[in-house]
Structure 1
Amino acid sequence: MKKITYISLAMFALLTASNPVLAATGKKVLTDEGFAQYVSLLKEEALTLGYDRALVDSSFSKVKFHKRAVKADRSQPEKVETLDTYLPKRVPNWKVKKARTLYKEHYDLLTKVSEEYHVQPRFIVALWGLETNFGKIMGNYNVISALTTLAYEGRREAFFKKQLFAALTILDEGHISIEKMKGSWAGAMGQNQFMPTSFLAYAVDGDGDGKKDIWTNQADVFASMANYLQKEGWSDELTWGRQVKLPEGFDTSLAIPKNTGSRKNWLKAWAKTEKSLAEWQALGVRRSDGTNLPTVDIKAALVFPDDENGRVYLAYNNYKSLMHWNLSYYFVSSVGHLSDRIKFPPVK
């Protein structure tokens, strides 16, 4: 894999010299001319990193500036609902029915992947359904164009440049053609919506054809999802978590704080607050129906996706794997909720 670096001071000086507003105010004005200049700099940087000129030229040959991607990145919606209103929309009955149907349809492949990576099939199907509606909505942006646009926009330039050069590596390795490398406005790709760096870290060749095709090859899609979870500590001996009830007067400081700011801080909070199920039982925590917690020797942390007045969950270790996939209580709750509704394996 090629080494990824940042734009040089000389290149930055060239860009500011050609963009007086940037030089004078420190704020980038997004123009077609400025974008074209930025693309030229990126191409030169790619060549210095060792990418082949033919690859660089073909990858950037039809690159476009996407104003819609910038708008989407700048105006992501504020959370204005609760988990109680969110889950019915994210996991409607039709999606559960479709998940069960596709579980049956791909039963043999899912079972094979599950046995190899030790991830229950229902979680693979749930992630598949929630990320792209089972492969139906993957985004139609040229990934190189989307990533170049967001790098040029500048607020998260280092992140998107890292993704851009990872995308070039994927093309260089021959897993997909530039014409078929489609994704979301943010550059998330395929049926499992991997960012390019996640592709390089977790994508696998599920059927041994020499390519990692998360766009059209179902074996690669499922195996890559399972490989991701396995590498992030998944255990098929556990579920993801369970909804619980708290006793009156419960000390809510025992839960993970809602806004930890980063994945690293969230994991630190987990380590400080996790307890055994026996300890939670002793503190008065019960299943959502009021019965005792399972008598098994595992640890869990307490999470409030909204606040102490909303739904409360005991999160098991697999919850951490899902939070690595997407650091969002709502996303993880959706995956868990959908997986629970397709829990019992269908009979062949």
Structure 2
Amino acid sequence: MIDNKMLPLFLAPFLVAAPAHSETYPEFLAGLKQEARSIVGMNDEALNSAFSQIKLFKKASAGGAPQAQPEKLDDYFPFRVPESLVEQAREQFKLHHESLLQIEKQFGVQPRFVVALWGLRSEFGNRSAGYPALTVNASLAYDGDDKAFHREQVLAGLKALARDGLAFDAFTANTKGLLGQTAFSAADYLAYATDGDGDGKKDIWQNTTDVFASIATLLVKNGWQAEATWGRQVRVPDGLDANLVGLTHSESFAQWQKLGVRRYDGTDLPDRADMQVSLIMPEGPKGRQYLVYENYRVLSKLFASDFEALAVTYLSERIKYPPIE
């Protein structure tokens, strides 16, 4: 009789490693092309041409293990928004001021928020890359952490090529499959890419006016309010009911005032009866506390955490103050 403890060693010579995939990459692409044929609006010639150019991209990356990030906002802000990024943001704000004012007039999105998102998404285009987006997303759909998502991005990318008449090599992405200076997914491109200068193209790779218009469209379509800001840091009395904290609960400024909430400098809250605002404490009751408005809710849809959304607001405030001459 074989000892159970020895069984794995006994069987080892007879075991064959399970294949990483049930199909080869060419077989995977053939199935994906068949699926695409019925839904992306391409004729067979264009579809065959696109798929003939899709390769296995070994540099494609879903991101790997997440990088450890500071757990306190006082540490997170300089980590995520270093002074070098603030300086670049203020320079870009000044450089593109006229174009940004036109975007504000057209879309109702304040320039500082457009620039903040641009900076945090792609470092003003410096983190964008020129890899074929369909190749990257197909590779991640075949061998990535979120295969279903990237499969959808291949189909969305094909739709984008068909809709906008884009060349395969012009539709480029970084190693995560995100496009251009906006760092859009292909589905985001379909939903938000915008021709900002009226030249008939939606160039989120090279045309900064289109980049600004596309970021503004992203915000507006998610509910951005033109005449409002995002929120403010406040002070909250000890012992406030924890059930009142979070985006699911809103009160008027007057009600928060009655509960003892004050501006960070200790003065009264705004005297406005037309807003319902929420209290968030991303670090818990001992950390920073904020009253946030509808525009913050928009940002919270676009980011995975309050820390990330607050990084946008932090950079926007650093662009605003001190005023840029």
Q: TM-score, normalised by structure 2?
A: 0.86
Quote the residue 2:288 is aligned against: 311
Amino acid at match of 2:133: V
Q: C-alpha distance in 2, partners of 1:282/1:76?
A: 42
Q: 1:175·1:213 contact (CA, 8 Å) conserved in 2?
A: no
Runs (4 or more) in structure 1 with deviation over 4 Å come to none
Quote the residue 2:103 is aligned against: 113
Deviations 1:223-253 (A, max 9, x none): 1111111111111221111111111222222
Quote the residue 2:6 is aligned against: none
Q: C-alpha distance in 2, partners of 1:217/1:167?
A: 19
> Secondary structure of 1:124's partner?
helix
> Secondary structure of 2:215's partner?
helix
CA RMSD after TM alignment? 2.2
> Secondary structure of 1:314's partner?
strand
Quote the residue 1:282 is aligned against: 258
Quote the residue 1:149 is aligned against: 139
Q: C-alpha distance in 1, partners of 2:173/2:308?
A: 19
Quote the residue 1:124 is aligned against: 114
1:235 aligns with 2:242: no
1:328 aligns with 2:305: yes
Quote the residue 2:85 is aligned against: 95
Q: C-alpha distance in 2, partners of 1:66/1:28?
A: 19
More deviation in 146-155 or 240-249? Answer: 146-155
Quote the residue 1:83 is aligned against: 73
Q: 1:202·1:228 contact (CA, 8 Å) conserved in 2?
A: yes
More deviation in 88-97 or 191-200? Answer: 88-97
Q: 1:150·1:157 contact (CA, 8 Å) conserved in 2?
A: yes
> Secondary structure of 1:307's partner?
coil
Q: C-alpha distance in 2, partners of 1:227/1:335?
A: 17
Q: 1:277·1:296 contact (CA, 8 Å) conserved in 2?
A: yes
Q: 2:262·2:269 contact (CA, 8 Å) conserved in 1?
A: yes
Bigger Rg over Cα: 2
Q: 1:301·1:315 contact (CA, 8 Å) conserved in 2?
A: yes
Q: 2:69·2:76 contact (CA, 8 Å) conserved in 1?
A: no
Q: 2:118·2:181 contact (CA, 8 Å) conserved in 1?
A: yes
Q: C-alpha distance in 1, partners of 2:279/2:209?
A: 35
1:192 aligns with 2:169: no
Quote the residue 1:218 is aligned against: 208
Structure 1 residue runs of 5 or longer lacking an equivalent are 1-26, 257-269
> Secondary structure of 2:313's partner?
helix
Amino acid at match of 1:41: G
Identity of aligned residues (%): 41
Q: C-alpha distance in 2, partners of 1:108/1:300?
A: 32
Q: 2:70·2:76 contact (CA, 8 Å) conserved in 1?
A: no
Aligned residue-pair number: 305
Q: TM-score, normalised by structure 1?
A: 0.81
Task: Give 1:155 shift.
Answer: 5.4
